Structure 1
Amino acid sequence: MVQCWLLNSMTRNLRAIFLSLSTAKEVWDAVTQTYSIGKDASKLYELRCKALATRQNGTSLSDYYGTLQLIWQEIDVLRPSKMKCSDDVAARTTEISNERLYDFLAGLDHHLDRIRGQVLAEDPLPSVQAAYAQVCSEANRQATMLAGSHVDGSAMTTTLHRPVPRSGHPKPGQKELDTRQCTHCGKKKHTRETCFELVGYPDWWVDKQEKGKEKKKSVANLASQPLPHGSSPHMDQSALRVFPNTTSTSSPYPGSSDKGADWSW
């Protein structure tokens, strides 16, 4: 049964080499002699260099730690302990554990520098298994915080760039903007159908212009009179400020300079 299991675990080409052997022990011994590298120093050197050169490089912690574990297992096979004293075995086990802890911490990504320093500050140093658990906990915490900040940033960006709804209705308390413009005279706040130049000027509009004309005459007369004794130009300027729009351009119907507002009726 064991012999069948050994042969079935081989590829077809290898199975043909050991198929003629009669017992499982013969198969095992033949495979060991053929493929075992024994105490190959070059292989141990290669594995140690590989362990020191292994880096996380953005991969998951489980993948990085699993890669190191495979290397360490191969080293254990090639370098079995021959110590008999229990104290020596414990001391050597601690040394190996510390070496592997250094290998693991040295290859971590830079965002885990803080937890690496915390692990190295412990006395005594934890096992590589305990250190792996601490690093995983810190990595999960960082991932959670990063995800939360990303959501907050996205919400803020959405709020800042949220389009302002356009509506034809003014907001409460806001006066509706009159966008009408006459195609005849070019003035705003009325249309061609209600243009005074076409339909005639109403009486109230003429009266308004006459009042404006009289107002201008009063200001002009006041400005042309000589200043009383003791007065100053500053007093004259104060009087002129009482009657604004005295420099408006003339029109067929003198009055307010805001011609566009005359049509708001």
Structure 2
Amino acid sequence: GDLSVASFYAALKTKWEELDYHVNDDWKCGVDHALYWDKEWMDRTFIFLGGLRDEFETIRSQILNCDEIPGIEEVYARIESEEQRRQIMHIDFHQGSSPAAFVSHTSGTGQRPTRRCSHCNKVGHSVDFCWDLHPEKRLVRGRPPPHRRASSVPEPSPGSSN
């Protein structure tokens, strides 16, 4: 419905973490374990894409038409970037700016807007992908490892501090 992409993703991620808690993680074969989580995260990518508002149909189609579907984090980053782009354009056009004025406000490099982490204050990532908070994401790009039951301290859900 009316949720932002970040709120929608955070809600899904919270539910997935709850479900992961109940997964039997005692695998006899490491290959089967890896295959299970690869499939699980691919399914979650499809669930995320399928739950997006219709306004994201173009970028959703572009992602689904890739030779290899990117991991959930890359998909989320692309969709969030598209949402931010739409918000910027909507604000500029409704304030009476011409398209030429909008171009003059951008850096002119053709790069997407700069992200700044609200946790570490570094440029280039959001708090959802901060390695200080999520060191496990440094090891595997595109597919985070499964949530482990051994952790007794619950992690804050992404987007809760925004």
Normalising by the residue count of structure 2, what TM-score does the alignment of the two structures yield?
0.55
Alignment partner for residue 140 of structure 1, among 84, 91, 97? 84
Alignment partner for residue 123 of structure 1, among 67, 91, 96? 67
Q: 1:122 to 1:82 in 2, by over 3 A?
A: farther
Alignment of 1:189-208 (within 5 A): none
Give the whole-Å Cα distance in 2 for the aligned partners of 1:109 and 1:141.
Answer: 15
Q: 1:124 to 1:86 in 2, by over 3 A?
A: farther
How many residues are paired up?
98
Q: Which amino acid aligns with 1:137?
A: S
Structure 1 unpaired stretches of 5+: 1-56, 155-265
Structure 2 unpaired stretches of 5+: 99-162
Q: 1:134 to 1:149 in 2, by over 3 A?
A: same
Give the whole-Å Cα distance in 2 for the aligned partners of 1:136 and 1:121.
Answer: 19
Map of 1:68 onto structure 2: 12
- Report percent identity of matched pairs: 30
Map of 2:45 onto structure 1: 101
Alignment of 1:154-233 (within 5 A): none
SS state at 1:125 partner: coil
1:180-225 CA distance string (max 9 Å, x none): xxxxxxxxxxxxxxxxxxxxxxxxxxxxxxxxxxxxxxxxxxxxxx
1:18-63 CA distance string (max 9 Å, x none): xxxxxxxxxxxxxxxxxxxxxxxxxxxxxxxxxxxxxxx1111121
Q: Which amino acid aligns with 1:145?
A: M
Map of 1:87 onto structure 2: 31
SS state at 1:152 partner: coil
1:221-245 CA distance string (max 9 Å, x none): xxxxxxxxxxxxxxxxxxxxxxxxx
Give the whole-Å Cα distance in 2 for the aligned partners of 1:130 and 1:82.
Answer: 29
Structure showing greater Rg: 1
Q: Which amino acid aligns with 1:149?
A: F
1:88 deviates by: 1.8
Give the whole-Å Cα distance in 1 for the aligned partners of 2:23 and 2:31.
Answer: 19
Q: 1:67 to 1:93 in 2, by over 3 A?
A: same
1:135 deviates by: 0.3
Q: Work out which structure has the larger RCO, using CA pairs closer than 8 Å and 6 or more positions apart in sequence.
A: 2
SS state at 1:95 partner: helix
1:144-185 CA distance string (max 9 Å, x none): 11122112279xxxxxxxxxxxxxxxxxxxxxxxxxxxxxxx
Normalising by the residue count of structure 1, what TM-score does the alignment of the two structures yield?
0.35
Give the whole-Å Cα distance in 1 for the aligned partners of 2:25 and 2:71.
Answer: 19
Give the whole-Å Cα distance in 2 for the aligned partners of 1:126 and 1:84.
Answer: 28
SS state at 1:122 partner: coil
Give the whole-Å Cα distance in 1 for the aligned partners of 2:68 and 2:34.
Answer: 14
Q: Is residue 150 from structure 1 mapped to residue 94 from structure 2 by the alignment? A: yes
Map of 1:77 onto structure 2: 21
